[in-house]
Structure 1
Amino acid sequence: MSDSKSTSLKAPFYIPQFTAKDYSSFFLAGALCCTVTHGAMTPIDVVKTRIQVDPEMARMSLLSGGRRIVAQEGPAALLTGFGPTAVGYLVQGGAKFAGYEFWKKQFVQIAGDQETAVKYRTAIYLGASSVAEFFADILLTPLEATRIRLVSQRGYATGLMTGFARLAREEGLGGLYAGFLPILCKQIPYAIGQFTVNEFCHELAFRSMSEETKRSLSGTAKFGISLGSGIVAGFAAAILSQPADTLLSQINKGHGPEGSMPYRLRVLAQQAGFRGLFAGLGPRMIMTAGLVAGQFLLYGVIKDALSAPPGLEIHKENSAAHT
């Protein structure tokens, strides 16, 4: 009797029914926010990659590494790999953000009611971000392999098309997807940190606020919450994905023994050690904090411009409501 009574008192379980147009808006917003932010971060990423793969730069800071590259190769060297970075994260960003919206909705539906969805919201965030990232990485991997070759092997090619064509011609599909496993090991923890930590930062910020306070928040306050949440999520994403990011750079440069990918990753990890796996973490944390915060801010702005619906929110203080 009490069970049926409690069930009848539950709030209506509302799940938005997104259309194909809604998902295309999510995809476009995600694509633009990722390609803009990753493209802008190309100089930092060049320095970070060199620190990871060049023994002479292994102990350099972001600033000293950048100065060394400019002194030896000129300022244009800091834009190496801009083409594959912009295109790669255009397709990956669209698939990741639209995929996260899609899979979060699917997992909320599987939960069956809002109380269960809120209770297991961490699992929903982890599952949605992981599955979305897996499919997005199928699109990203060949372009990321091209980018790393351009950055780590000076003179490899003149740009995206020639670099991609050379890699495909010389090494085939195996070369283009040699880094798929390590990129999954890098990008899935990255996505988990990005989306899950951002969700909980927003929840923490809004939990102590009354509905009236939330409705009356100024634009500056909302911007501050989004920016702060994005920065913290960026730090988490960088730390969780750093070891695999280092191994990815090594794999794409051709380092490591022959054999299966898990074996190569294990040997490279043993050779690098804990300190080596986290080489370049400082610059990458700076880069990732800017990337993630910028992406969430731009994603919201572009969605608004496209008149896209809000995403599904399952924060504890506002069960299964809209963002």
Structure 2
Amino acid sequence: MAIPENYRQPLIPSFLYSTMKKTIDLDNIEIKNKSNLISSSNGALEKKFLIAAPYEPAGKIEMYSPAFYAASFGAGLISTGLTHTAVTPLDVIKCNMQIDPAKYKSISSGFGVLLKEEGVRGFFRGWAPTLIGYSAQGACKFGFYEFFKKYYSDIAGPEYATKYKTLIYLAGSASAEVIADIALCPMEAVKVRVQTQPGFARGLSDGFPKFVKSEGYSGLYKGLVPLWGRQIP
């Protein structure tokens, strides 16, 4: 009896000789498993990116906007003015040690001499020009630093701005300090005169007109170059 071709079965099982097919099947399974892992991993990553961002307040300040520069000026004004005013006693001792080193030999002895001769109020001579002068200096320093930093970065372009970022920041800082010291210098001149000459004036209100009367308005800027040399580096 003849057996139709469709019903003939090989005596040797196909998996014993069909290695190529099995290998391909295994590869397909492996590739499929890998693709599943990748797709599931991508799905996890996508889910991470789809997580909602934290709530941002409506009043967020945009970088280099007018509000940003105003905030920078305000931050410098408050922080620098208050900190320098707080250390006025040390500044009084320092200035007197520079003017009269024989009398004010050290910080500790200088405190004693000043307390004995002028009392506690003597430690705060010149606080008003200090507050006004360093508030103006801090405002200009913080505000113009951000301005010049962006200005020089825009001139350099994206590539060079990234490559020479440190130099751009240094140039921005130095440029801002030049302007800041111009704002500081008049008050610094009056402050030093009030602190080192007790009989000259009680404070800013009478010290400023006396200084202008004796030195002229140009005298307010006589110490500008040394001030730049001290502050810019």
**What TM-score do the two structures reach when normalised by structure 2?**
0.70
Q: Of the candidates 141, 145, 148, which is equivalent to residue 103 of structure 1?
A: 148
Aligned to 1:28: 74
Matches within 5 A, 1:231-250: none
**Structure 2: distance between partners of 1:22 and 1:121:** 21
Aligned to 1:92: 137
Matches within 5 A, 1:133-148: 133-148=177-192
Q: Is the 8 A contact 2:104 2:113 kept in 1?
A: no
Aligned to 2:20: none
Q: Does 1:117 align with 2:161?
A: yes
Aligned to 2:93: 47
Identity %: 42
1:57 positional shift: 4.1
**Structure 2: distance between partners of 1:168 and 1:99:** 29
1:119 positional shift: 2.9
Q: Of the candidates 198, 212, 215, which is equivalent to residue 168 of structure 1?
A: 212
Aligned to 1:158: 202
**Structure 2: distance between partners of 1:59 and 1:126:** 37
User: Deviating runs (4+, > 4 A) in structure 1?
Assistant: none
Give the 3-state SS of the residue equivalent to 1:158 in structure 2: coil
1:17 positional shift: 5.0
Q: CA RMSD in A?
A: 1.5
Aligned to 2:224: 180
**Structure 1: distance between partners of 2:164 and 2:104:** 42
Aligned to 2:171: 127
* Residue type of the alignment partner of 1:44: L
Instruction: Give 5+ residue unaligned stretches, structure 1.
Output: 1-15, 190-323
**What TM-score do the two structures reach when normalised by structure 1?**
0.51
Q: Is the 8 A contact 2:182 2:224 kept in 1?
A: yes
**Structure 1: distance between partners of 2:108 and 2:161:** 45
1:122 positional shift: 2.5
**Structure 2: distance between partners of 1:174 and 1:97:** 26
* Residue type of the alignment partner of 2:65: T
Aligned to 1:316: none
1:93 positional shift: 0.7
Q: Which has the higher contact order (CA 8 A, sep 6+)?
A: 1
Q: Who wins on radius of gyration, i.e. which is larger?
A: 2
1:166 positional shift: 0.7
